[in-house]
A and B are shown apart, each in its own frame.
Chain A
Amino acid sequence: MKILVTIFIGIFINVSVHASEISETEATEGDAKDELVVNSEIENLKNEILELNSELFVLEEDLLFSANTQISVFVSVDVDSLFELDSIQLKLDDKVVSNYLYTAREASSLKRGGIQRLYLGNLTSGEHELTAFFVGKGPSNRDYKRAVTKIIEKSESAKFIELKIVGNVSKEQPDFIVKVWE
């Protein structure tokens, strides 16, 4: 009968999630070095791929969007309950350049301080008209659509535009702002 009780004790030990972590680690201490070697191999591989990925990323950008013609449009959200973003349509000189529909995960990421690069393209020097249409749910969960337009001056250097959705507490409405980064 003692054998059965021992089995029971074994089961009890396995039940303790965090505590078992300690005993498991003790049991596998001998294998730890091998595991570290394997981990280091994987880490090297990941590191090399990350390096290559970033190099190719920069190369592609340099090749396709050289600095003197490059324009990037970003989206940020700093509003809690006043606006739930569903989609954005972006127009440059009355031509639709981006239509983006947000997943719940992406919308939530924006709300938690993330900034999305919505559009990367080329633009000639001079004046251009940028228009963004924001679609989502406004206060009281009502359908909400707003547009914002701005004339931008494209110079010889890369242009960075941020579309900001911010909460206006006094009006209890979201505000849509176009910020040009210098």
Chain B
Amino acid sequence: MNSQNSNKLYHYAGLILLSIASMTVCAEDRNLHKVEDLAYGVSIYHFNQGKYFSSITDLLVAEKNKKISNDKQNPQLLLGGLYLSYGMYSRSSDVFEKLLENDAFNVSKEVKDRAWYLSGKNFYENGMLDEAKNSLIKVKDSLKANNEEERLYWLNTIFLRKKDVVSAVDILYKMQDTSIWRYYSVFNTATYLIKAGTYAAYARQLLLDLSSIVVTNDEEKLLVDKANLALAYVSLKNEKQAEAVQHFLKIRTGGDVTSEALLGLGWAQYRNEDYDNSITSWMHLIAGQNKSDLVVQEALISIPYAYEKKKDNDQALFQYGHAIKGYKTQINETQKLVDFINSDEFIAQVSPANTGDEAPPIYDGIQNLNPLMYRYLSKLISSEKFQFSVQAYQQAKYLRYKLSRWQDSMPALKMMLNEKRSTYKNKLVKTLDDDSLDQVEGLIKRKNKFLEKVESIENDELFYELVTDEEREYIKILAAVETGLKSGLTDDVELDELKFKYRLLNGLLKWRVETDYPNRLWKVKKQANRLDEAVDGLQNRLVSLKKTFKSAPKDFAQFDARIENKESEIIQLKSRVAAEIIKQENHLRQTALNALEGHRNQIRLYHDRALYAKARLYDAMMVKE
């Protein structure tokens, strides 16, 4: 692929990407809103990579599993945009309608505006112009500046398509002066008026304004070139050759419309009877541009006409001969291209390199196309329609891949279910029969008893229930001492001393037990809580086990039902996808052949004309002789 074609291709690719990206602006700008649900974030992750199928699946699965709870609006907006990008216009429309008309969503003005805006584009894609207009008109004032300009651009386009020139023109005055969308709208409106043959002066003024904008990028430069080309055409049509020349000369050399400009320039000079310069312009065109371009082919036959006018018949004859030779080569080359398009190789080249790649870069396939395709069908290849067709074809192939994957997975899923069933039979039943479950029941009873005891200690302030082993020993000793003292085995003096010591020690012990009670009670309660949690965990597991035990057969039956018929459904869908793939292959072939046929017919026409002109010239020369 030569660099010129490549640049052109990327230019158009940029336009297409721009339009797709703007379709689902909601996910593009992370500052616009915060991702509040993981499932929504996962969908955005796939969306950002152009994996619309996965992204939609993420949202559908999240909906089934009720995984989106924090943000209801934005996921719906994304879903609507995704359906739109994936060519599912009707679904997209349903989602937007639901979002806008369901009060439960409590939709903010910003979201509403974006939804109306995307919905309008959706209807437009579907060819429903009135509905598109109604949706776009409902947008209030919260769109970002660029989106607002784009909205007005679409409205202008709709009005032009509906031949409502006044409304279309009115839109132009609502747009920002330096917006690229306005430039497109101005150009579209002007060319529409020219083609319709109305408001010629106004159309010309629009083009003049456009041709004098301050350009800052390639897109604007191209628009200015096109405006000049259109102005030159209008001048040429009005027999104002000198004016046409001035407009043609403003067009850049090396731009996207240079060929057309040089051809037109030649014609303007020809009509001015400036044959030498017209030949120079056409020669320049032939030398510098793609030889297969129809514009160049037209220049080939135009040159001998100019020589004839100059009465230079020898040179005219030579140029006719040169043109005829060129046309024959072109006819042969295009035949080779016809054969290529009819071959399997053509389909192989537009197919993704890796069928499992959900979002293959469309341009990879196109870049590797047969060079003849670029030579003769560069306009088709770079057209939005053809690229969408290739993308649709690649999407269909991915669907087939996905279905095949599921088909291959079905035995594994069934095996997994059987494995679960046998695990249930062998292990779960055994586990439930196990003594350990009785032990759990015993533990629960003991725990409850312990908790009751702790409660009674706290309520009745039973300090001595929390004594340590050492203190318990002391208590026993003191009790024995007390008994001894009561029996009066010793003399009075010794007895009094012993009684005093007994009271002292008993008091100390009581003081220690009572003052440390809160601390001890807190520790015991902490232990009780831990025990409670641990036993609760055990209890939960027991409940869960029992639940599983009870529900397992029902779950298995549900799994069976969910798996059942899926295989046949997959097979049936696969056959429909296969038919769709064939349909799309034929469509791609036919589109390419139709475009080429137009080109071939034109060359044949030039060829016949050159043959006729040459014969006529010979005749004239013979008559003279």
Chain A contacts for B57, CB-based, 8 A: 50, 53-54, 57
Task: Determine whether the beta carbon of A156 is less than 8 Å from that of B544.
Answer: yes
Task: Determine whether the beta carbon of A56 is less than 8 Å from that of B406.
Answer: yes
B166-184 interface (Cβ within 8 A of A): 184
B201 within 8 A of A: no
Q: What is the size category of the interface that chain A forms with chain B?
A: 35 or more
Task: Determine whether the beta carbon of B187 is less than 8 Å from that of A11.
Answer: no
Q: What's the Cα separation between A7 and B161 when bound, in Å?
A: 24
Task: Determine whether the beta carbon of B573 is less than 8 Å from that of A52.
Answer: yes
In the complex, what's the smallest C-beta–C-beta distance from B600 to chain A, in angstroms? 15
B334 within 8 A of A: no
Task: Determine whether the beta carbon of B416 is less than 8 Å from that of A22.
Answer: no
Q: What's the Cα separation between A38 and B222 when bound, in Å?
A: 35
A108 within 8 A of B: yes
B127 within 8 A of A: yes
Chain B contacts for A9, CB-based, 8 A: 233, 237
**Contact stretch, chosen from B87-95, B344-352, B481-489, B500-508:** B87-95
Given contacts A113-B41, A115-B35, A115-B41, contact A19 B263 (CB under 8 A): no
Chain A residue at smallest Cβ distance from B544: A156
Task: Determine whether the beta carbon of B392 is less than 8 Å from that of A114.
Answer: no
B430 within 8 A of A: no
B391 within 8 A of A: no
A133-153 interface (Cβ within 8 A of B): none
Task: Determine whether the beta carbon of B38 is less than 8 Å from that of A74.
Answer: yes
A6-38 interface (Cβ within 8 A of B): 7-9, 11-19, 21-23, 25-26, 32, 35-36
A81 within 8 A of B: no
Q: What's the Cα separation between A152 and B320 when bound, in Å?
A: 85
Chain A contacts for B192, CB-based, 8 A: 19, 22
In the complex, what's the smallest C-beta–C-beta distance from B622 to chain A, in angstroms? 24
Chain B contacts for A105, CB-based, 8 A: 49
Chain A contacts for B44, CB-based, 8 A: 109, 112-115
Chain A contacts for B35, CB-based, 8 A: 76, 113, 115
A40 within 8 A of B: yes
Contact with B along A115-144 (1 / 0, CB 8 A): 111000000010000000000000000000
Chain B contacts for A7, CB-based, 8 A: 298, 602
Task: Determine whether the beta carbon of A63 is less than 8 Å from that of B402.
Answer: no
Given contacts A19-B188, A63-B413, contact A50 B38 (CB under 8 A): no
Task: Determine whether the beta carbon of B161 is less than 8 Å from that of A47.
Answer: no
Task: Determine whether the beta carbon of A42 is less than 8 Å from that of B392.
Answer: yes
Task: Determine whether the beta carbon of B541 is less than 8 Å from that of A125.
Answer: yes
Task: Determine whether the beta carbon of A115 is less than 8 Å from that of B38.
Answer: yes
Task: Determine whether the beta carbon of A114 is less than 8 Å from that of B48.
Answer: yes
Contact with A along B6-29 (1 / 0, CB 8 A): 000000100100000000000110
Contact with A along B558-586 (1 / 0, CB 8 A): 01001100100110010011001000000
Task: Determine whether the beta carbon of A112 is less than 8 Å from that of B87.
Answer: no
Given contacts A49-B577, A114-B48, A115-B41, contact A12 B161 (CB under 8 A): no
Chain B residue at smallest Cβ distance from A29: B127
Task: Determine whether the beta carbon of A50 is less than 8 Å from that of B42.
Answer: no
Q: What's the Cα separation between A160 and B392 when bound, in Å?
A: 36
10 other A-B residue contacts (CB within 8 Å) besides A49-B402, A58-B61: A19-B191, A39-B87, A50-B53, A63-B413, A63-B416, A106-B45, A106-B49, A113-B35, A114-B44, A125-B537
Give 19 A-B contacts (CB < 8 Å), ordered by A residue: A11-B260, A11-B294, A12-B230, A17-B15, A45-B573, A45-B580, A52-B570, A53-B57, A59-B562, A62-B559, A68-B544, A74-B42, A76-B41, A112-B27, A112-B44, A114-B42, A114-B47, A114-B49, A156-B541
What residues of chain A have their CB less than 8 Å away from a CB belonging to chain B? 1, 4-5, 7-9, 11-19, 21-23, 25-26, 32, 35-36, 39-40, 42-43, 45-60, 62-64, 68, 72, 74, 76, 78, 105-106, 108-110, 112-117, 125, 156, 160, 162, 181
* 4 closest residue pairs by CB, A with B: A115-B41, A114-B45, A109-B48, A113-B30
What residues of chain B have their CB less than 8 Å away from a CB belonging to chain A? 12, 15, 27-28, 30, 35, 38, 41-42, 44-49, 53, 56-57, 60-61, 64-65, 86-91, 126-127, 157, 160-161, 184, 187-188, 191-192, 195, 226, 229-230, 233, 236-237, 257, 260, 263-264, 267, 294-295, 298, 301-302, 305, 379, 392, 399, 402-403, 406, 409, 413, 416-417, 420, 537, 540-541, 544, 559, 562-563, 566, 569-570, 573, 576-577, 580, 602
